[in-house]
Amino acid sequence: MNWIENVQAWRRLPAEEKLLRRWKAIPRDVAQSMAFEREPVEMSRLEEILDRIAPPASLRPPGEPSRILK
């Protein structure tokens, strides 16, 4: 699959799926950024932190309260 096909596939995804994929990519993006700065961090640690943070309201089931990072 070339980059044009990747872009077209991304554009066909529903907005909720795009948001979910972006949310799940946060630990990887942060880990890559930290590694670039020569301050590596464990992916598992970043995933733990993300699990404690409330996802965007559009990713939560209706009526589910938000969580606060402690």
Judge whether 57 and 20 are in contact, CB under 8 Å: no
Whether 30 is in a domain gets the answer yes
Domains of the chain: total = 1
Q: What is the pLDDT of residues 54-63, one digit of tens each?
A: 777 777 666 6
Whether 62 is in a domain gets the answer no
Whether 43 is in a domain gets the answer yes
Whether 64 is in a domain gets the answer no
DSSP secondary structure of the chain: --HHHHHHHHHHS-HHHHHHHHHHHHHHHHHHHHHHTT----HHHHHHHHHHSPPPGGGSPTTPPP----
CA distance 31 to 33: 5
Q: What is the pLDDT of residues 8-29, one digit of tens each?
A: 999 999 988 998 899 889 999 9
For residue 43, what are the domain limits? Answer: 14-52
Judge whether 24 and 46 are in contact, CB under 8 Å: no
Query: Higher pLDDT residue, 44 or 69?
Result: 44
Whether 18 is in a domain gets the answer yes
Whether 47 is in a domain gets the answer yes
